[in-house]
Amino acid sequence: MPTPFKTSATAAVVLTSLMGGHSLAADLTIDITIPKIDTAEYHRPYVAVWLEGDNRKVVRDLAVWYENKKADGEGKKWLKDLRQWWRVSGRNQEAPADAVTGATRPVGTHTINVASTSAALKDLPAGRYDIVVEASREKGGRELVRLPLDWPPATAKTEETAGQHELGKVKLTAKP
């Protein structure tokens, strides 16, 4: 009797397709809008984005935007103004969120892409999480928004919210 598969590699491809291609690989896209604020003295906001578990503990930092180019390192001292992030993650770090830090962003919409192979998502246990975005601006205010995330996503899903002052629309797209 002939075997239906000539090689084990072929069998693996067929088996994967029969299983619907489900795996734990998934990607996240987070779009963050920094609104234009009419004020005499405008400073770009510091922004932290993190993945939080159901116990409100940081699971992974996804992005930290701050003024990191100052020669005297003064920009780091203002990270504590990102109060929630600072309490749960920032103050415990030698260097702010190594590998996810960057400069502050201007007014407009900015995208963070997090691949399933990145350190932030690799080996992330299945479960319910929140994506938290916090912004703080010198001579301005502070704001925090949360978006729910079921990991890994079974289907493509989009969640949206908006801040009222320091953050505009924040959109999370999760794709299996």
- Residue-level pLDDT at 12: 34
Provide the residue type at 149 as one letter: L
Which domains does the chain carry? Answer: 23-175 (2.60.40)
User: pLDDT of 160-173, one tens digit each?
Assistant: 999 999 999 999 99
**pLDDT tens, N- to C-terminus, the chain (176 residues):** 444 434 333 333 333 333 333 344 689 999 999 999 998 889 999 999 999 998 888 889 999 999 876 555 677 888 999 999 999 888 887 766 666 888 899 999 999 999 999 999 999 999 999 999 999 998 889 999 999 999 999 999 999 999 999 999 999 999 99
- Residue-level pLDDT at 99: 66
SS3 19: coil
Distance CA 12, CA 51 (A): 33
- Residue-level pLDDT at 114: 95
Q: Which of 142, 145, 149 is nearest to 166 (CA)?
A: 142
